[in-house]
Amino acid sequence: MPTEIVVLTVGFMVGFYMAWNIGANDVANSMASAVGAKAITLRQAIFIAGILNIVGAAFIGSHVTDTIRKGIVSPDVMSDPHIALLGALSALLAASLWVSFATWRSLPVSTTHSIVGAMVGFGIAMGGVSVIHWPVLGAVVASWVISPVFSLIIGFVMFKLIVRAVLSKPDPYVIALKRAPWFISITVFIIAMSFLFKTPLGKNLALSTPAAALISLIIALSLGFLGRRLIVYKLDEEKKLRLGAEAIFRRIQIGTSCYVALAQGANDVANAIGPLAVIYFLVKKGTIGATVPVPFFLLLFGGVGIALGISMGGARVIQTVGSRITTLSNTRGFSVDFSAATTVLVASKLGLPVSTTHAAVGGVLGVGMARGFEAVNFSIIFKIMLYWVLTVPIAAITCVGIFKFLAWLF
């Protein structure tokens, strides 16, 4: 059997494995706060996230991917098709193994940074440190601080605002119901703006910022008042008495978690399918350009892999983010989702590097600290941050070893 066919077959297997790992680890970004706050059960979260990730990956996922992920290494090292083939396969496998290990340890890591680290290793193996674009790598390092700190501050402020405006009032349920349209509207506004700027489908629409803001505002106000009517319609008397204001934020939080799951499938599928698309086109055409189109069947292939990863391995990281850092209620869970979505949107618009994984953890930390430092499990926070820092170097070293082995084998 020709070498290229062997590499393509292995590439599909490793690409599926990477997609599986994305599902198992990144699902915590969207569903951890909802499960931690008991807005939905773990089984419901896995089902919802699985469906929305397939839809996000297949229908609004990346249709074109950078050949050199995030511009991290010089394109010169990919000029030889055979070397590019082995490099893409090595990067996929190295990133998959690291994310898999982190998932086994129940810790959330950035799958994007895993691929970046693997590409750094491939670049160094081929051309030494001079082929690495160090400013791009420096931006990745900066995101270890920017994303969680932004999200921590926003989550802290939002939860304090809810306490002041709702929970500290004599009848929190009545006040929460009265102010629900505004909480829903501001959340939908952020989500709509994020969708228009952050998803590949939104980018293809190429709307200007004022046009996107106007469309988002109209959608936000409409859904704000419609959402209040639905909450009133759906809530029964027993839940009103038992949960009070938390019952209202519980409904809002389910909506925000669904958005993050949809966007996650759309954005993260490229981490698994991007390198696979490079392998696919190298075998099929013998060459690749600066960017590579991603066929629909590959997006669907990645989406199914992500969904299976969620169903088979998603529980571990969800439980870490949702319940081991701090105790979450529905108002705190809402604050986490709001802070993560806002951080990703604002930082992206400012051109700052962000990670949804880091933003989600930062938001949980922020609402925990709003209750005092004693409410936060800092030992688990230390472990999570250690894994963030280790992601790039370990993925890089692993990729060097795999690439050397494959180059010897083929």
Q: Is 103 left (phi over 0), alpha (psi -120 to 50) or beta?
A: alpha
Here the tokens at position 24 are: 């198992």
Residue 60: what pLDDT? 67
Residue 257: what pLDDT? 81
- Report if pTM > 0.75: yes
At position 325, the amino acid (one-letter code) is I
Residue 68: what pLDDT? 47
d(CA 89, CA 172): 55
d(CA 190, CA 182): 12
Q: Which residues of the chain have pLDDT under 70?
A: 1, 60-71, 198-201, 234-243, 288-291, 348-349, 351-353
3-state secondary structure of 330: helix
pLDDT in tens, 88-139: 889 999 999 999 999 999 999 988 889 889 989 998 988 888 888 888 888 8
Residue 46: what pLDDT? 85
Residue written as tokens 């773990």?
42
Backbone angles phi, psi at 306, to 5 degrees: -60, -45
CA dihedral over 297, 109, 394, 64, signed as positive or negative: positive
Here the tokens at position 242 are: 């038992």
Pair 25, 264: CB distance under 8 Å: no
Report in angstroms the alpha-carbon separations of 53 from 8, 46, 60, 309, 341: 25, 10, 10, 11, 17
Pair 322, 328: CB distance under 8 Å: yes
Give 226's contacts (C-beta < 8 A, 6+ positions apart): none
pLDDT in tens, 264-319: 777 777 778 888 888 888 888 777 666 677 788 888 888 888 888 888 888 889 88
Pairing of strands 64-66, 291-293: antiparallel
**Could you tell me which of 272, 337, 345, 348 has the C-alpha nearest to residue 307?**
272
Residue 67: what pLDDT? 47
Give 265's contacts (C-beta < 8 A, 6+ positions apart): 52, 53, 54, 55, 56, 57, 58, 61, 303, 306
CA 293 and chain centroid, separation: 22
Residue written as tokens 């074109």?
64
d(CA 80, CA 63): 24
Give strand pairing partners of 132. Answer: 73
At position 23, the amino acid (one-letter code) is G
At position 141, the amino acid (one-letter code) is V
